[in-house]
Amino acid sequence: MNPAAPTHPIARLPEEWRTSLAARGERAFAAKQVFDWIQKRGVVDAAAMSNLSPKLRAALAEEGLSPGLCVPEQVHRSSDGTRKIAVRLRDGALIETVLLPSLTAPGAPANQEADDDDDDAEQHGSSPHTRVTQCISTQVGCAMGCIFCASGVAGLKRQLGAEEITAQVLLGRSLLDEGEALRNVVYMGMGEPLHNYEATARSIRLLTHPDGIGLSTRRVTISTSGLVPEINRLGEEFKGQVALAISLHAADDTTRSALMPINRRYPLAELMKALHAYPLPKRRRITIEYTLVAGKNDDVAEAKKVARLLRGLPVKINLIPMNPIDASTLGPPSFGRVGAFQQVLIDAGYSCFVRKQRGDDVSAACGQLVLIGAKPKVKGFRPAQES
């Protein structure tokens, strides 16, 4: 972090509050109060922090603790309960965050459709709440250039600060319906989280801090296109507790490099080495995301390569038929080809699911996020002609 740039109040950890407020001559208790206001109560306007002195409120407002950091511009609600929130940032940039309620009835045993924690005994309890997963963005646009992705085609506009990443969750939580509880946060919105490592790691520390939102670290999932040094660093710094989702999309370097330029920098052998070294806790698995693009990575020969490549790694595989985007003529394979691909992986002994697109009617599928000047076109899974 740049020491010249003070951490934004929303991104400050309790120990940093203690230091910064002590330097102002404030009592230690004030640090606890401010962190509580922001992270627990979701209040990001210093003027509303009624138990602080007027002097401190004014100083915090001066440091940026005032409304306007992350403003919900539009909330689109889909018939399946998914909410897509277009968020306006201070500089006018637009990002998106998505709330995805579990599709199971509150208290019912979790199933695969509901969320990814199918191996988590806690999920089988009788929580009275509808569990909500929030998908958040880490960048405006993305530098990785994957050819099937709207964010990649647009390029990187700028990084998000840790305060902007965290504020999406504070906002999302404030928009929950009665009876809903935020359980999982997935870094699968716009951008490559590990290309914004410092801000991403800080936001994880904030979201999982017990005095704040208090998410369980293993309910935080980082999705990455495969930045190997940062995967290693994440594994070390969070001791493997942060859940990992890898955007694989191909099991040979030629196919993968054609879809995802990052593969030229970190080819499959290096990526696999990092995944085998990731200090995954017992009984946890790495999620493998595989976007199926018609004619590019969807034949059974590729599925067999995937089966070979992943041998020995604890994984669950999510197949995602590609959502068409305006900037490209690429699209999803037919139902038949998706099914054949899945069958190869099931026959090879893997847990392999086809992800249903959620919130299609409001363009809310993760990875399909709105960009300034680029209208996303999300149609969900429309089968092409059977071939």
Applying CB under 6 A, which residues contact ligand SF4?
Answer: 142, 144-146, 149, 151-152, 191-192, 225, 247, 367
> What is the per-residue burial (b if ≥16 Cβ within 10 Å, else e) of 53-68?
eeebbebbbeebbbee
Pinpoint the alpha helices (H) of 278-318: 300-309
The interface partner of residue 323, options being ligand SF4, ligand SAH, none and the CB cut-off 5 to 8 Å by kind, is ligand SAH
Could you give the CA distance from residue 318 to residue 367 in angstroms, rounded to a whole number? 14
| DSSP state at residue 187 | E
> What is the per-residue burial (b if ≥16 Cβ within 10 Å, else e) of 25-38?
ebeeebbebbbbbb
Could you give the CA distance from residue 205 to residue 215 in angstroms, rounded to a whole number? 10
Q: What is the SS3 string spanning 47-110?
A: HHCCCCCHHHHHHHHHCCCCCCCEEEEEEEECCCCCEEEEEEECCCCEEEEEEEECCCCCCCCC
Task: Dig out the tokens for 236 from the structure.
Answer: 């070390």
Whether 289 is a known active-site residue: answer no
Angle at 111 between CA 119 and CA 364, to 5 degrees: 110
Nearer to ligand SAH, 64 or 189 (CB): 189
The interface partner of residue 123, options being ligand SAH, ligand SF4, none and the CB cut-off 5 to 8 Å by kind, is none
Nearer to ligand SF4, 14 or 367 (CB): 367
Shortest Cβ distance from residue 152 to ligand SAH (Å)?
7
Q: Are strands 351-354 and 315-321 parallel, antiparallel or unpaired?
A: parallel
The interface partner of residue 366, options being ligand SAH, ligand SF4, none and the CB cut-off 5 to 8 Å by kind, is ligand SAH
The interface partner of residue 235, options being ligand SF4, ligand SAH, none and the CB cut-off 5 to 8 Å by kind, is none
Our CA dihedral for 372, 227, 282, 202, rounded to 10 degrees, sits at -60
Nearer to ligand SAH, 17 or 187 (CB): 187
Whether 366 is a known active-site residue: answer yes
Shortest Cβ distance from residue 289 to ligand SAH (Å)?
4
Task: Dig out the tokens for 326 from the structure.
Answer: 């305006």
The interface partner of residue 322, options being ligand SF4, ligand SAH, none and the CB cut-off 5 to 8 Å by kind, is ligand SAH
Pinpoint the alpha helices (H) of the chain: 14-23, 28-35, 54-62, 150-154, 162-174, 197-207, 228-237, 253-259, 262-265, 268-277, 300-309, 335-347
Nearer to ligand SAH, 208 or 263 (CB): 263
Task: Give the residue closest to ligand SAH by C-beta.
Answer: 367
Nearest to 259 by CA among 354, 153, 365: 153
Applying CB under 6 A, the residues found at the interface with ligand SAH are 148-149, 188, 192, 223-225, 247, 289, 291, 320, 322-323, 325, 366-368
Shortest Cβ distance from residue 86 to ligand SAH (Å)?
17
Shortest Cβ distance from residue 362 to ligand SAH (Å)?
16
Nearer to ligand SAH, 10 or 186 (CB): 186
Nearer to ligand SAH, 280 or 369 (CB): 369
Catalytic residue, from 96, 180, 230, 302: name it: 96
Residue with tokens 């928009």: 175
Q: Which residues are paired to 289 by β-bridges?
A: 247, 318
Shortest Cβ distance from residue 85 to ligand SF4 (Å)?
18
The interface partner of residue 325, options being ligand SAH, ligand SF4, none and the CB cut-off 5 to 8 Å by kind, is ligand SAH
Catalytic residue, from 135, 142, 352, 366: name it: 366
Shortest Cβ distance from residue 322 to ligand SF4 (Å)?
11
Catalytic residues: 96, 366
